[in-house]
A = this chain, B = another copy of it.
Amino acid sequence: MQDGTFPSPDYPEVTAPRRDAGRGDAYARDCPTRALLDRVGDKWSVLILLLLGEGAMRFNGLKRRIGGVSQKMLSQTLRALERDGLLAREVLPTTPVSVTYRITPLGRELLAALRLMIDWAETRMGAVVAAQAAYDAACGRAP
């Protein structure tokens, strides 16, 4: 990595093991928020969690419901979410084989925490789009 490329080291660099500040709004690499966003900030994870929040589903059912996901990304994301303990994979030894995915209590917790963000997105993304348009009109192209 980059070792000591900071000219003024008299600052409390947040890369240090840990600051003592209470529950510490950690802005550094060891921040759990960073870890969560690395897992969940991809294109499909939240969508899958949201869908499984409604009820258990099978692989091709998910594939049909989610527009534009490839098999590779779906199976990859499902495996990652299963590894994280956010959803459970149940293999039923039926006729060929039935695989059911259902959300776990931990996943449901996360989904509840995400719901506020999702609600904000659904009500306020219009304001964001308006801000983008205003920005583009002001300094984006017009003088």
Contact = CB atoms under 8 A, between A and B. Distances in A.
Interface in A1-39: 1-6, 8-9, 11, 13-15, 23, 25, 27-29, 31-39
B65 A11 contact: yes
Contacts of A28: 66-68
Interface residues of A, number: 72
Nearest to A129: B35
Contacts of A132: 83-85
Contacts of A73: none
B55 A27 contact: no
Interface of A: 1-6, 8-9, 11, 13-15, 23, 25, 27-29, 31-43, 46-47, 50-51, 54-57, 60-61, 64-68, 82-86, 106, 109-110, 113-114, 116-122, 124-125, 127-128, 130-132, 134-136
A68 B27 CA distance: 10
Contacts of A41: 37, 40-42
Contact of A54 (B1, B29, B134): B1
A91 to B, nearest CB: 12
